[in-house]
Amino acid sequence: MKWLFKFFAKGLIKILYRVEVKGLEHYHAVDQKQQPLLIISNHVSTLDGPLLDLFLPGETSFMVDVAHTKKWHERFILAMTNYFKVDLQSPYAAKHMIKELQSGKQCMIFPEGRITTTGSLMKVYEGTGMVAEKTGAMILPVHISGAVYSKFSYLDGSKLAYIKQFWFPKICITLQPAEKSVDTTGLKGRKKHHVLTEQIARLLRDGVYYGNVQHQSVFASLLQANSFFRSKEICVEDVNDQTLSLKKLTLAAIILGKQLNRVLKDEKHVGLMLPNVAGMPASFFALQAYGHVPAMINFTAGIASIRSACETAGLKSVITSKKFVEVFELEPLIEALSNKVHFIYLEEIKENIGGLDKITGLLKCPKKLPGYKVNPKESAVILFTSGSEGTPKGVVLSHQNINSNIAQISSMLTLLPGDTILNALPTFHCFGLTAGMLWPIIRGAKVYMYPSPVHYSIVPEMVYQKNAKLIFGTDTFYTGYARKAHPYDFYSVNSLVAGAERLRPETRALYADKYHQPIFEGYGVTETTPVLSVNNHLAYKNGSVGRFVPAVSYRLEPVKGIDEGGRLFVKGPNIMKGYFMPDKPEVLQPPVEGWHDTGDIVDVDEDGFVWIKGRAKRFAKIGGEMVSLTAVESYINEASPEGHHVVVAVPDERKGERLVLVTDDPTLCRSTITNAAKEKQISELWVPKTTVLVEKVPVLGTGKTNYPEVQKLAEKNFDS
């Protein structure tokens, strides 16, 4: 009778929960006649056991903590499965599972030992890895998504105001390829247990990515967020007290997008030049809704760089705001570029939106808009970065790049619906765009957008006022905040995340001592959408930039003269579509065979943590901005063609790095350099703050500049 009961139960649950199972081929690839099978899964609700028992092939035995068998509904649900009770705190718990596997049974363990109360992974117990190692079982990872939104989840009650809980949410069960237990030859005791447990934790973490990544357009991801979370709750707020809920953001995208589309017509690439205000996500998704590709303009880059960026991406129009232009004093920029591009002001667009347009927008089905069914491999956004000669390259990211990196970030950092991220990082940088703005919106959280990261006294106060749970920043910005913040300003913060430049040990120690907060350092570049690795609460090493996010492959190529590590190449779903180069505008140049050369020298330790050793490219990072040393030398050489000028970077306590000019020209003064930069319309960041005069600039036997010796001269004179 039990099989008949399970037959009807499976049919009923499949109908009610619209259960979808992905990756069953990974189950069938395991030869259970040769090796026992150990299934592991995340644990999000009391439905998990029956779901796996009913929808995975074979007869599965479950190990269940005795604490989860006391309530009547728990016992009723478990009655549909084959299970045995254990005390997970007991050292004998693992022995029970080993015995079951050795008897030839297909077994299942929830390695976390408890149902999550956060919606994310929790602590992983050692026993699962030991069981797999002792029995030689193949480990089959499974991820359950959707059930966390059911009435049977154990989510923290404070989050239920933001999450749509359903009796019957859609549930998806995703299987990954099975793995053998890692080789622990030569390892004993705690080290052996650590290695085995880390394998289980990695498989579960990867499962979060594979179970949640969506192969769809960015606009479709916004619509999905509307259905998963409470669409009337605020998801965007800015310094002007402008707020947007998911519902209003979607409506704004439809209505504003229609008006912009009338003006833009068939223009594919469209410039977007706005600060961190509510109008930024509204405009971004408005363009996405109608199939336009936003090109994010760095309005701090200087006229020459912005003009080059517009030409590289083939921009005919740039969307901006009159108020923004006035407040940031960008009139000279507008005047200089008006003969190249057409500036579209949001204030004028909004004046043309009438009552009929709003009614039409309410009635419009968003799934019928051009941006909904866009191929995920198509371009979604263009960002700009400096090339070796200082001219901007366009980095083209696809919809799949963005959705993949959002899922990768979610697998590493906990973000709950209703949590607030304070994002002061500009959205013309990928860090501020993907992690700071799109991630919280698409994951049902809230982003407070602040227009400037250098308001060191105001940003910490806003963190305090808004009860922010997560902050993104650079070492430069965190150092600035520490000088102004009250010790209690970061009381609500769960994670401080640093990227874009090296996090100095002094900054990390300062936050630990003064604010009792760790800073989780991460790493990435624009070409990787951007997050490649990050530390977190479950995996952290001081000085490293954390472990690689799921689905990323890497290789290290040896570099002459460097003993530890190598030049980092990466490949994965978050790697850009390719570059637009200034000499070939709008011609996509994809990475060679999908591999991107980061230009950084890194080392990866035995635990998978990434350590940045240095930069292979001649770039400096000043306050998170990339500065081409070659380009700086170029404009100085034009101003003083008789001299030999070399620009290098040295560490700086405030900005991360500082430019130092080493020259043999005694007539060269600071005013000459400053005037040359102004004439070339170059940002002040590109002006060396220190000059070292030498009798002769060191050169190699070939006549080329001896950069290592120049670096030593600069550091010696700077320190003195």
Catalytic residue IDs? 43
Q: At what angle are helices 127-135 and 189-212 packed, to 10 degrees?
A: 100
Is the CA virtual torsion 510, 513, 519, 521 positive or negative?
A: positive
Bridge partners, 543 (sequence order): none
Tell which residue, 594, 514, 587, 504, has the closest CA to residue 554: 594
Determine how many CB atoms are found less than 10 A away from the CB of residue 366.
Answer: 19
Using left for φ > 0, alpha for ψ between -120 and 50, and beta otherwise, residue 624 falls in left
CB 593 within 8 A of CB 551: no
Tell which residue, 2, 138, 9, has the closest CA to residue 59: 2
Rounded to a whole number of angstroms, the CA Rg of the chain reads 28
Rounded-to-integer distance, Cα 105 and Cα 99, Å: 9
Determine how many CB atoms are found less than 10 A away from the CB of residue 587.
Answer: 12
Q: Which residues of 380-412 are buried (b: 16+ CB within 10 A; e: fewer)?
A: bbbbbbbbeebbbbbbbbbbbbbbbbbbbbbbb
Is the bond leading into 530 cis (omega within 30 degrees of zero)?
yes
3-state secondary structure of 308: helix
In the chain the first and final C-alpha atoms are separated, in Å, by: 86
Q: In one letter, which amino acid is 272?
A: L
Determine how many CB atoms are found less than 10 A away from the CB of residue 638.
Answer: 11
Determine how many CB atoms are found less than 10 A away from the CB of residue 681.
Answer: 16
702 DSSP 8-state letter: T
Rounded-to-integer distance, Cα 400 and Cα 378, Å: 8
Rounded-to-integer distance, Cα 628 and Cα 632, Å: 6
